Structure 1
């Protein structure tokens, strides 16, 4: 057991239970210094199993969750660097297989590994992707180079989807340059797959990376061009095709909102174009008929509403964002993956801050943290929100906010 990681888990769950270090020390019948050393990873030996069991009991969690749950740990820089190193490998860049004599991973095994990683992402487990993605990139590249026929085409699909996952994880980690590199590679692999659904899926991820990297105008142009190019085929491809097509228009809407927010000359004119892209997405959501999660898109009427909330926040229209969020049916919200639900709550909290509802914003953030801790305590954008709230003041929510700030690592 890594003492530092164990200490971080203890500190995290102590904060979640709103216990001070002296209070936790009293429950454990130890000194405050003992707690400080434990949480700081400075104790010389791992705690005995009986001690770890007692810690878990006092914190109200299972021992397994205390020892192994990855969701309370943010991705460390070495893990992010390992993903970057995998992207920089000669064989991964060129698509030429290395000289390893190992057989390529069977397609079915590759699909299972990617499914597991993507499912983890939608559950809000972003840190673990830092250890999963490098092997996936190498395995998918080798599969695309060494398989033939239909298996090779499927390998390119899996490679593109793996690169999409890399882009999405990098956005969560706040590394927009890494996201942009992965997004470009995903589009290239998608073209090799000759599958319009995969092409559209990769295009929406690249548009997202462009937007987050400050290239919103380019993102709008790219997403809309991809939508027009692929639309005729996508509408014939059933739920998968409609889902990725709808997501392209949602990404175009977000990019347009970002472009308007960044423009110093005619922001209002740019902002007026945002609803036209949402209208396109809504049309495809209606054709789909219900919320779906085809190709991990979560696309449907509810996700369209989530993106409208995000766009209002981007445009500093906090009251509008709060109103749209309030109109999302609870049942539909509850059916979304945890990552989507926590993301909406984080957006709503930003909108509440913009609307002057700062105490409410704290409670909304705590609700998001309960769903997917990493979406709140690890993401740079959410940490900025917590810092803003600390500066602005939150009245009766100040104590709860400081506990969250501590879990975000902002008070250490």
Structure 2
């Protein structure tokens, strides 16, 4: 194993153990500079076995696991999803009433840093770690919203709504649409109490996503469009953040319309013809924004609109059109998006390739997505279904080995 690969594995497992570089250096009996050089692959020569064994022991894994060809990806455990569910079902979180102790609520800035850290992890494709982060966020934000006063209280409601949005987004990745729906409804309620139209629109787009994934696509389209109409003037006055969340509402409307078309054969055409209209409306706001950006974790801009065009074609089983839409996205533009969004696009494109009969291309596209964000492929039920379908349909011998190994990493039977 070369020094670069060893450094990559050290960095991965140190992060998984939530260990700082300084802490790892202390445990290894080395300097911080040594750890930095190892993780950057700047140490000369292959690592010796004694270093590998000691590093593995400090990281609580076997040496063989540390030097494996493929980094393990740990998916969220059911117990962690249950912990999130229990937090949502707590009396204080539901009612917004917490204890009367004299303990001070967390400052708004502290809450914001915690939320930013968790959201950054999500956009990097690290969904499993949210199972332990979200419950504390929900409880702390609820308590802050009750105990703070004035502007701090409004800010706390903003952060509570955004924390519930994160819960919804993580639940979608975990494949739990019921949990996502509960969190989405709560996010909208908290957003209304924040009195901030940008937060209201942001919560509405997440609830629309949850409703669509829970089989309520037509209602989702109506809800997000009503939200866009109600909030549009305020959002346009709000500037770039407002343009971003308004555009996202129309993107979610497009996906909801596509899902409604798939679910309603008798009215397929009625729903389907609305999809390009909503995408064009989103594109108008992307043009107004004038760039790709990640304001309020939306990843919104012209490139994300193109990503949603791919997703909409896939939802409508228009695989060839999805492939063509994906080809319209340049590599530099795509690389400006967070890893989660890029991997999501690749997973969509792979499904489009499967629909179009390009199964070997789909395998390679999924492998590219896995390299970016392993959990998007190995852990997300939706993407695992694509892998399973590729197995059932079969691929040419040149791709069979790669597919078999990918299926094994996804925990699928061979």
Alignment TM-score, normalising by the size of structure 2? 0.84
Which structure is higher in RCO with an 8 Å CA cutoff and minimum separation 6? 1
Q: Report how far residue 72 of structure 1 moved.
A: 1.2
1:175 & 1:50 partners in 2: Cα distance?
31
Partner residue in 2 for 1:383: 384
Q: Which residue of 2 aligns with 1:394?
A: 395
Q: CA deviation at 1:309?
A: 0.3
In structure 1, the gaps of 5 or more residues are 1-8, 10-28, 30-45
User: Which secondary structure state, in structure 1, belongs to the residue aligned with residue 127 of structure 2?
Assistant: coil
Q: Are 2:41 and 1:59 aligned?
A: no
Over residues 290-311 of structure 1, what are the superposed CA-to-partner deviations in whole Å (9 max), with x where a residue is unaligned?
1010000000000000000000
Provide the residue aligned with 2:16 in structure 1: none
* Contact 2:56–2:66 (Cα < 8 Å) also in 1: no
How far 1:102 sits from its partner (Å)?
A: 2.3
C-alpha separation between the residues in 2 aligned to 1:303 and 1:49?
A: 41
**Contact persistence 2:56–2:62 (CA under 8 A):** no
Q: How many residues are paired up?
A: 361
SS at structure 2 position matched to 1:356 = coil
Write out per-residue CA displacement over residues 153-172 of structure 1, whole angstroms, 9 at most, x where no aligned residue. 00000000000000000000
RMSD of aligned alpha carbons: 1.9
Q: Name structure 2 gaps, 5 residues minimum.
A: 1-12, 14-48, 50-54
Look up the match of 2:38. Answer: none
Alignment-derived partner of residue 408 in structure 1:
410
DSSP 3-state at the match of 1:202: helix
How many Å apart are 1:411 and its aligned residue? 2.0
**3-state SS of paired residue (2:193):** helix
2:183 alignment counterpart:
182
SS of the residue corresponding to residue 265 of structure 2 reads coil
Tell me what 1:98 maps to: 99
Find runs of 4+ consecutive structure 1 residues off by over 2 angstroms.
46-61, 98-102
Over residues 322-355 of structure 1, what are the superposed CA-to-partner deviations in whole Å (9 max), with x where a residue is unaligned? 0000110110001100000000000000000000
5 Å-filtered alignment, 1:103-122, equals: 103-122=104-123
1:225-374 matches, cutoff 5 A: 225-374=226-375
| Structure 1 SS opposite 2:229 | helix
CA distance in 2, matches of 1:356, 1:344: 18
Q: Is the 8 A contact 2:293 2:299 kept in 1?
A: yes
Over residues 159-203 of structure 1, what are the superposed CA-to-partner deviations in whole Å (9 max), with x where a residue is unaligned? 000000000000000000000000000000000000000000000
Corresponding residue number in structure 2 for 1:153: 154
2-side partners of 1:350 and 1:316: how far apart?
9
